[in-house]
Structure 1
Amino acid sequence: MLAPLVLKGAGEETLLWAKLNGRLYFALISPAGQARTYLTKLQALGEVQGGGSPKVVTGNTTLPLERVAETIN
């Protein structure tokens, strides 16, 4: 619910995240419409579930935060 609100004010690619019970939950926000492209790159690395629009995707993974961040940069 928070990710679409952030999209309204985001001027650049944004990663929101939270860790819970050993999983990383994330939202990728892309005003340029590249969020699904980033999700596809993450899914190629391993256990990543998610989906969404070209501007906002949400998902979760067991990958470390650092790996997620470097993949979308």
Structure 2
Amino acid sequence: MNDEDHYCENCDMDLYGISPIYVDYMDLPYCSIDCLAERNTYKKYKTIEEANREAEKNRYRKEEK
């Protein structure tokens, strides 16, 4: 781990002494899978409600098939 990799990319939690979770294609550390998911959700959608609506639409489309 580099010096700058000692903090979670999402919540800035100190990662010293714990095993961080890394994104495969970028070596950005996260403290938990929840933080990773939260960060990726907020990048794509403005709000968590918008992300939930999109998930509902996708679920409904799968059920139609």
TM range (shorter): under 0.3
Q: Larger Cα Rg: Structure 1 or Structure 2?
A: 2
Greater relative contact order (Cα 8 A, min sep 6): structure 1 or 2? 1
Task: Report which of the two has the higher share of helix.
Answer: 2
Task: Report which of the two has the higher share of strand.
Answer: 1
